[in-house]
Chain A
Amino acid sequence: MACVMPSIQNPPKIKAMGNLDIQNLKVSFHTREGIIHAVDGVDLSIKPGEIIGLVGESGSGKSVTCNSILQLLPTPPAQIEGGTIDWSGKDLLRQHDEKMRGIRGKEISMIFQDPMSCLNPYLSVLDQVAEPLVIHGMASPTNARKQACEMLARVGVQRVVDHPHAYPHEFSGGMRQRAMIAMALVTKPSLLLADEPTTALDVTVQAKVLNILKELCTDLGVSVLFVSHDLGLVAELADRVVVMYRGKVVEQNDTRSIFSNPQHPYVKALIACRPTLESNPVHLPTVEDFMNPKTGKCQALKKLESPSLNLDSQETLLEVQDLVVEFPTEDGPVRAVDGASLTIRKGSTHGLVGESGSGKTTLGRSILQLTKVNSGKILYQGNAISLENIQDRTRFRKSMQIIFQDPYASLNPRLTVEQALLEPMKVHGLGKSRKDRIDRVVKLLEEVGLGEEYLHRYPHEFSGGQRQRICVARALTTEPEFIVCDECVSAMDVSVQAQVLNLLRSLQASRNLTYLFISHDLGVVKFMSDEISVMQNGKIVENGLAEDLYRNPKSSYTRKLINSIPLANRSSDFGL
């Protein structure tokens, strides 16, 4: 009797180690408001050694897809409705808990978005990086620490090697994310799931971390599923891009083709609606323009050279001279703003870029006297603003407003839109009667693209973009001339960001507003601004006309900022 070897019988069916194949994955969330189909029939496969970019905006289902691979979704409320996730011949959706634990961290690792909260604050970094080896019995605790040290040195976290008892709070966000990468790769897995791993980082830090991630994964032959909302970023890294929209995969193709020849209108929109450094549109196209070409304003697609403002003929509205702001800390005062000067002309937008901690937000707030100034002068229309004279201060505050980054936190959840918008008018005694004030509120709401029907709603009933519109309307209630926009689109998806930026631009044109536009995103700042100042460590290191600054950056820091931006985000043509 000839003995038939089973391995000979079915070699084509055995899938190679490290081959992930998701078929028709359906995940829904059962909430009080009803069932949400977060992932609705997704097909996705990753071959060994491949780097796949999974792109979509918030709510598109990309993170849910990523988390269901390792079954890390909280159930309930999440529920896998159907499909298969095939990993080297095993269906991950039908594995027992114990089998799953053997795969997690050993065959498939994962890194998460927020390095600040993803490391255990109570355990030393070294122990946490070594832990996967110990859990999977791949090394003794001592040996695991040794291997962890090697991996940490490779990702550039030398500090842990020198100080084995260092805890997460002693590290910056970038360093923590490097430690997370070391932790995920220390077991040499076959697949790495990276869920927005650089979203919480500054652009220069992001560039470094991405480089490390890419190098290390190529070295170790690890395939990567890189989840991100940033199409440009993914282009830097991925061999193939998968775009998700409302729980479905709308397009997947190799990276070059996606950019040069996008098929689906949503993908076209994603590529177009992000302000890049090269383009100079007056208005940004929005997703709406692409999805409903009939109703959308297609003229927005035409690239128009922005009619450049003749800055020299404009009078100076605001001047900051040698401003110093210090914050007391345990180790003595820290200078958040260290002798910054800038001039803002009437009707123009002055952009302020810099990384977190550079002092740009503090500078914006001290102009409005929301932060105490240690020394230096702020001149508004030639008059010094000071905290001493309360009447003066109230008058200045009326003509200056601010829009904050987080529209969720900056609106009082217990005030209706009407109450929130009426308050500044009452404070400054604007409007003849209550009716007059309400009429103004309704007009403002219409101006920002909302309507009278929203008057009596509370902030939680609105989406992020709508809330920021309310914040814009609130800033306009006192008829200001000058508005500080402090990272006001940073927390938004690109499509929503485009709408809010367009709104700010059109309001500037119709009301002759002057903006100080603060952002860490050079592309957005350049789209908005006539002039740009670059800030580093509390100092203004460079300033000039927006176009000049990008074309011929003078300081090395500005060059570094520009070079850290993913190529595809510098020009919408992807250099093709």
Chain B
Amino acid sequence: MKKFVLSRVLQAIPTLWVIATLTFFMTRFAPGGPFDAEKAIPQEIKVKLESHFGLDRPLFDQYLLYLKNLLRGDLGPSFKYPGWEVSELIATAFPVSLTLGVLSLGIALLIGIPAGIIAALRKNTWLDYLPMSLSMAGICLPTFVLGPLLIYIFSTQLGLFPPLGWYGPADWVLPSFTLGLFYAAYVARLTRAGMLETLQQDYVRTARAKGASPWQVVTKHALRGGLLPVVTYLGPAFAGLISGSFIIESIFFIPGLGKFFVTAAFNRDYTMVLGTVLFYAALIILLNLLVDLLQAWLDPKARQAQ
């Protein structure tokens, strides 16, 4: 077990290096630079700025310098937010995105899993058709439609929650639901498919033959196998959730990570792009590891493979 975790962490190092290298050169080869604006700044100031950030040096030297700093955990200064380090910007925005992500995931699981289980148990009845058509609608409905819709109903009409901002728990409700419902729809469909598959298994019939009640059959015998596809989906889904959503953040005016992700690329804020990409990559690697551990906990065969 320890050996498995250690080997996975060690494997992450070359992965992150490849990602850093690719991102570094791809951003550099993209046309334009961090100090090209519509209103051109005077040439001598631009030259000064570039030399300040070391952009006048040969590209490969910059690359080596970046890697050297990276090893020390230094992601460099942001080019667009003067006086801010990239790591500082991530550190202020990430807690916001993490809160939003965890809440949304909680909503997704709390709604999605029970809905999926009920739909599977009552296959081809209205208890199956209703949640499954709703989930289809949830998948098709973009968040930029659902978000304003929720604002209109719960904020404008009912006045229950604030429409925007990120100051206290009341602000968390609408964005979490907007994001969570979309994922709940996926989780519900995956749970239903997984449960239908497991409920057909011979060992479920064995459990019934032992005299187990429907509740015991589901919770003790069918649920583990039925949730495995959901668990596999959780890793990348959770990484996506907590690394911020540009659309949700824009609708609800939330100071999260997603905004930096998108604007940094437009601004050619090289260090910021690299910083957010590496952060996202590390998150995905970490969460996939957690998913594997979770699967091993659920499935003894996977445990043995490790």
Could you tell me which A residues sit within 8 Å of B by CB distance? 70, 72, 101-106, 109-110, 112, 114, 117-124, 131-132, 135-136, 167, 169-170, 180, 183
Residues in A with CB closer than 8 Å to B202 are 112, 114, 117-118
In residues 184-236 of chain B, which contact A (Cβ within 8 Å)?
201-203, 205-213, 216, 220-221, 224-225
Q: A109-B209, A112-B206 are in contact. List 10 more A-B contacts (CB 8 A).
A: A101-B211, A101-B213, A104-B210, A109-B210, A114-B202, A122-B298, A123-B220, A135-B216, A136-B211, A169-B300
Residues in A with CB closer than 8 Å to B301 are 121, 167, 169
Task: Report the bound CA distance from A110 to B205 in whole Å.
Answer: 10
Majority secondary structure of chain B interface residues (helix, strand, loop or mixed): helix
With A117-B203, A118-B203, A135-B216 in contact, is A104–B211 under 8 Å at CB? yes
Q: Is B304 interfacial (CB 8 A cutoff)? A: yes
Look across to chain A and name the residue whose beta carbon is closest to the beta carbon of B206: A118
Task: Report the bound CA distance from A539 to B203 in whole Å.
Answer: 36
Q: Are A105 and B298 in contact (CB under 8 A)?
A: no
Q: Are A70 and B209 in contact (CB under 8 A)?
A: yes
Q: Is B88 interfacial (CB 8 A cutoff)? A: no
Q: Is B61 interfacial (CB 8 A cutoff)? A: no
Residues in A with CB closer than 8 Å to B213 are 101, 135
Of B203, B210, B298, most A-chain CB atoms within 10 Å: B210
Residues in B with CB closer than 8 Å to A103 are 211
Q: Is B299 interfacial (CB 8 A cutoff)? A: yes
With A72-B205, A112-B202 in contact, is A122–B211 under 8 Å at CB? no
- B: contact size bracket: 20 to 34
Partner of B205, one of A112, A122, A167, A170: A112
Look across to chain A and name the residue whose beta carbon is closest to the beta carbon of B304: A169
Shortest distance between the CB of A178 and any CB in chain B (Å): 15
Task: Report the bound CA distance from A469 to B298 in whole Å.
Answer: 45
With A112-B206, A122-B299, A169-B300 in contact, is A131–B201 under 8 Å at CB? no
List 30 A–B pairs whose Cβ atoms lie within 8 Å, in order of A's numbering. Answer: A70-B209, A72-B208, A101-B211, A101-B212, A104-B208, A104-B211, A105-B210, A106-B211, A109-B210, A112-B202, A112-B205, A118-B202, A118-B203, A118-B205, A118-B206, A120-B207, A120-B221, A121-B203, A122-B298, A123-B220, A124-B300, A131-B207, A132-B211, A135-B213, A135-B216, A167-B300, A169-B300, A169-B304, A180-B206, A183-B210
Residues in B with CB closer than 8 Å to A132 are 210-211
Of B205, B206, B208, B220, most A-chain CB atoms within 10 Å: B206
The 3 closest A-B pairs by CB, nearest first: A105-B211, A105-B210, A104-B211
Task: Report the bound CA distance from A114 to B205 in whole Å.
Answer: 12
Residues in B with CB closer than 8 Å to A112 are 202, 205-206, 209
Q: Are B300 and A131 in contact (CB under 8 A)?
A: no
Task: Report the bound CA distance from A118 to B298 in whole Å.
Answer: 18
Task: Report the bound CA distance from A547 to B209 in whole Å.
Answer: 46
Shortest distance between the CB of B174 and any CB in chain A (Å): 38
Residues in B with CB closer than 8 Å to A117 are 201-203
